[in-house]
Amino acid sequence: MKLLPGITLALLLVTPVAHSEEPTPMPKPLTLARDGHWLVIKGDRIPSGEIRINYLEAYCRAGSTDADWVTHTVIPHANELVALSDDGSVMELRDRLEDGVTVEHTITASADTVTFSLVAHNPGEKRSEAHWAQPCVRLGAFTGFAADPGTGDLDDYLPKCFLFLDGKPARMPTPVWEKKARYTPGQVWCPKGVPRTDVNPRPLSTDVPTNGLIGCFSGDDSLIFATAWEPYQELFQGVGRCLHSDFRLGGLNPGETKRIRGKIYLVPNDMPELVRRYTTDFPEHSEAP
């Protein structure tokens, strides 16, 4: 064997030393739990260990933008936990609305998403006024602020939050930030095709969102929480250090069944990759950047 100058046979026969670093373990999949009216998402990647969702906060009638929340808008409902898998990956819920409508929820947790599949059915002989509904996601602890909505400045988490305006992520508070409404504070964004008379009675922005994705960054900016629904009625920032993508039912005729789907993403801070996944999951939101 011909050796290069300065290289000995002994060096060529040395066995390479194995790399001592072990690979970084993959985070465990997200899991689901039910605590009263709260849907609880748990996971190692979540800074506070969990995210709590008032699920569902309310089923709502149309004509809600300038109406009394209690006497006009909210349709009372009762919730039942139907099933929860042993590993916490799949939950089934059933809502029964006062007008007889039933909504079956199948909620599935995976490595970095929670997927919602809903079937709403009106078994009665009268049209249901159930027009839209609110999953209220509490994000104070995730963004590095107080989890208790009764503590501190409730707008402190806003600079961590975003939606899409003019095709780009826009941090809150956005340049257009309305202050007046039947109830304050908060901020509502109404998409194209939805009457501005049929959304939350909080300050309604003149900005129209580019798409149905809304979210926030974790306290250390390493993660993004984001959520979207199809069809969606509004995007909303509320007084519980919360964010909403509220889904639309549009009323149900006698015997009618409708399907709704939603998604929560808990992913590394990579906005282009999040948008790629979102546009794949919700091709109907055609204006997504």
The count of structural domains within the chain is 1
Tell whether 99 is covered by a domain: yes
Lowest mean pLDDT among 19-33, 161-175, 181-195, 231-245: 19-33
Q: How confident is the model at residue 28 (pLDDT cuts 50, 70, 90)?
A: confident
Tell whether 5 is covered by a domain: no
Tell whether 20 is covered by a domain: no
- What is the C-alpha separation between 251 and 175, in angstroms, rounded? 34
- What is the C-alpha separation between 166 and 172, in angstroms, rounded? 14
Q: What is the pLDDT of residue 4?
A: 39
Half-sphere exposure of 152 (CA within 13 A, CB side): 13
Tell whether 112 is covered by a domain: yes
Q: How confident is the model at residue 204 (pLDDT cuts 50, 70, 90)?
A: very high
pLDDT digits (tens, 9 = 90+) for 46-66: 998 999 999 999 999 999 999
Q: Which two tokens stand for residue 37?
A: 């009216």
User: Is residue 16 scored above 80 in pLDDT?
Assistant: no
Supply the range of the domain harboring residue 42. 28-281
Q: How confident is the model at residue 8 (pLDDT cuts 50, 70, 90)?
A: very low
Tell whether 126 is covered by a domain: yes
Q: What is the pLDDT of residue 5?
A: 42
Tell whether 23 is covered by a domain: no
- What is the C-alpha separation between 38 and 137, in angstroms, rounded? 10
Tell whether 13 is covered by a domain: no
User: Is residue 76 scored above 90 in pLDDT?
Assistant: yes
The CATH number assigned to the domain holding 164 equals 2.70.98
Q: What is the pLDDT of residue 286?
A: 73
Per residue, the 3-state secondary structure of 131-177, as one string, reads: CEEEEEEECCCCCCCCCCCCCCCCCCCHHHEEEEECCEEEECCCCCC
Tell whether 8 is covered by a domain: no
